[in-house]
Amino acid sequence: MIVDLARAELRILRRDRSAWWALLALAAFILLAFAGTTLDAARGNADKAAIAAAERARWLGQGDKDPHSAAHYSIFAFKPAPPLVGLDSGATPFVGQAIWLEAHHQNDLLHRPQQGASLLQRAGLTSPAALILGIGPLVVFLLAFALVAQDRERRTMRLALGLAKHPRLIVGGKALAIWIAATGLLVVPVSIASATTLVLSGAFSPDAGARLALWAALMATYLALPAAIGVLVSLRARSARIALAILFGSWILFGLVLPRLASTTVDDVRPLPSSQAVHQQMLEEAPAYWTAEQSERHKRQLLAKFGVARIEDIPNARMAEMDLVERHSHDVFDRILGGFYGRVAAQDRLFATFGLLSPTIAGQAISASLAGTDFSHQRDFIDTAERYRRDLVNRMNAEGMAHSAGGAERYTADVRLWGDIPEFAYSQPPLGTGMRDILMAILALGLWIGVAWWLLRMAARRITP
C-alpha cells in the first residue's frame, strides 16, 4: 500500500515542474562533477604513472656511485588517486600527491591539486558528495514543500485526512516518495557511473565495491534525513510560507553555518603548529652530530656496535656514521611528525563529533573516509612512502657498510643494486582505515535518523489539515 502511495506521490512530484526540474538539474550537476573529477583523476594518474616510469629509469640509469650518494639521488613517489575520488575528493585537493624520497629528510608532499584548480573547483562544487551533502537537502526540502506544504495550503490535505485509513499512510507515502526521488536521481546514477568507471578502468576490487556500496548507502541514508525533516516542518508549520522559511533557514544553519563554525572551533580548540615550525623542529633535532655530547655518544655506540676501539677500525666508518645518523633521524621524524599527524587526526575526530550538531558534518566525515580521501588515508600514503624511503636508504647504507672503504676511498655500486630496489607501488588501505576517526560521525548520523524518524511518527499521529 505504502509503495503504491509513494508511486502516486512520485507522479505528483514529476508533474510539479519547479521541484522536479530543480532535482533534475542537481542530478545533472552531480554527474557532471563526477565526470570532471574522474577525468582529472585519470589524467593525473596517467601523468603520475608516466613520471614514475621516467623516475624509475632515472634511478636505474644513475650510473656507478657510492650507495649513500644514490640514497641522496633518490626518487619521487606518487600517490595515485583513490578509486572513488570521483565521488568525494575529500582532502585530496589540499594535500600533496608526490614526495621526494631522500636520505636524512622526510620531505613535505608536493603538488596539491588545488594549486591548479578552476574557480568552480576552488568553490568546492566539484564533488558529488559535496553537492549531495550540501545542496541535496535544499532540493529535498523543495520536494517536501511541493508535496506537503502546498497540499496543506491548497487544502488537498484536508480531503486526504478525511479519507485516509491512517495519517501514517499520508506521511509515509510522501516521505518515501521524496526519498526515492532524491536517492534515485542524486545517488543511484552517480553510483552506477562510479561502478562502471571502476570496472572499465580495471580499478574494481572487492574493497572498492564495498566502499562504493557503503558510500551509496550512506548518501541514501543521509537524504532520508532532509526528507523526514522537510515533511515534518511542512506538516507542522502554520503556513506554507512559514514552512519554506523554516526549511530554508534550516538549510543555511545546518548546511552552511554549522560546518564552518565547527571547522573554526576545531582550529581554535585543537590548533596545529605551522608546517614551518614543524620543519624547523626537525631541522634542529634530526642531525645526530649537532652537539659535541651527541657526537661523542654516537661514536661510542658505533665502536660498541662494531666491537672495535677506534673509528678507523670500522670497515666503512663513513657509511656506518651515515647509517647511525639516518636511524637517529627516524626516531625524530616519528616523534615530531607522528605527533603532528596525531593532532591532525584529533582535529578530524573532534570535527566528526560536531556531527551531533549538524548531519552535514557527519556525512562529510563518513563520506570522505569511505571514498578513501580523508586524512587517515593520506597518512597511510605518507607512512608507506616513508617506510619505502627508510628501506631504500637503509639498504644503500647497509650495502656501503658491507664493503671496506677507508679515508677518502669510496665503495661504488651499480645498476645491479639499483635494480634490487623494488619500484614504489601504493594501493589504498582496506576499508575501515581511520574508522576510529569517524565513529562519532556514524553515531551522530544514526542519532539524527532515529530522532527524525521518531518525530515524523509523532507528527503523523497529530497531523491536522
Site residues (CB under 8 A) for other proteins?
A: 1, 4-5, 8, 11-12, 15-16, 151, 154-156, 158-167, 169-170, 173, 461, 464-465
Choose between 159 and 402: whose C-beta lies nearer to other proteins.
159
Q: Which residues pair with 77 in a beta bridge?
A: 99
Could you report how far apart the first and last alpha carbons of the chain are, in Å? Answer: 22
| Kind plus residue range of the DSSP H or E element containing 107 | strand 105-110
Please choose, from the candidates 230, 265, 235, 231, the residue with its C-alpha nearest in 3D space to the C-alpha of residue 250.
230
Residue 433's CB is within 10 A of a number of other CB atoms, namely 16
Crossing angle, helix 292-306 and helix 317-353, to 10 degrees? Answer: 110
Sequence-separated (6 or more) residues with CB below 8 Å from residue 43: none
Residue 123 CB, nearest approach to other proteins (Å): 35
Whole-angstrom Cα Rg for the chain: 29
If phi > 0 it is left, if psi is from -120 to 50 it is alpha, else beta; for residue 166 that is: beta
Choose between 145 and 351: whose C-beta lies nearer to other proteins.
145
Residue 148 CB, nearest approach to other proteins (Å): 12
Choose between 16 and 374: whose C-beta lies nearer to other proteins.
16
Residue 144 CB, nearest approach to other proteins (Å): 16
Choose between 168 and 270: whose C-beta lies nearer to other proteins.
168
Number of helices (H), then strands (E), belonging to the chain: the values are 20, 3
Q: Which amino acid is at 321?
A: E
Residue 237 CB, nearest approach to other proteins (Å): 17
Residue 170 CB, nearest approach to other proteins (Å): 6
Choose between 2 and 57: whose C-beta lies nearer to other proteins.
2
CA dihedral 199, 121, 384, 428 (to 10 degrees): -20
Residues comprising the chain, all counted: 465
**Residue at grid coordinates 589504498:** 428
Choose between 237 and 282: whose C-beta lies nearer to other proteins.
237
Q: Please give the Cα distance from 341 to 272 (Å, whole number).
A: 9
Choose between 269 and 458: whose C-beta lies nearer to other proteins.
458
Chain centre to alpha carbon of residue 364: 9
Choose between 117 and 161: whose C-beta lies nearer to other proteins.
161
Q: DSSP character for 270? A: S
Residue 177's CB is within 10 A of a number of other CB atoms, namely 27
Residue 456 CB, nearest approach to other proteins (Å): 16
Residue 438 CB, nearest approach to other proteins (Å): 41
Q: Which residues pair with 102 in a beta bridge?
A: 105
Tell me the residue ranges of DSSP E strands in 216-313: none
Q: Which three cell numbers stand for residue 449?
A: 535518523
Choose between 68 and 174: whose C-beta lies nearer to other proteins.
174
Q: Which amino acid is at 353?
A: T
Residue 458 CB, nearest approach to other proteins (Å): 13
Q: Please give the Cα distance from 451 to 158 (Å, whole number).
A: 27
Choose between 305 and 461: whose C-beta lies nearer to other proteins.
461
Residue 146 CB, nearest approach to other proteins (Å): 10
Choose between 109 and 161: whose C-beta lies nearer to other proteins.
161
Residue 214 CB, nearest approach to other proteins (Å): 34
| Kind plus residue range of the DSSP H or E element containing 275 | helix 275-285
Residue 242 CB, nearest approach to other proteins (Å): 20
Please choose, from the candidates 181, 100, 69, the residue with its C-alpha nearest in 3D space to the C-alpha of residue 424.
100
Contact 240, 152 (CB under 8 A): yes
Residue 460 CB, nearest approach to other proteins (Å): 9
Choose between 406 and 465: whose C-beta lies nearer to other proteins.
465
- Helix %, strand %, coil % for the chain, to 5? 75, 5, 20
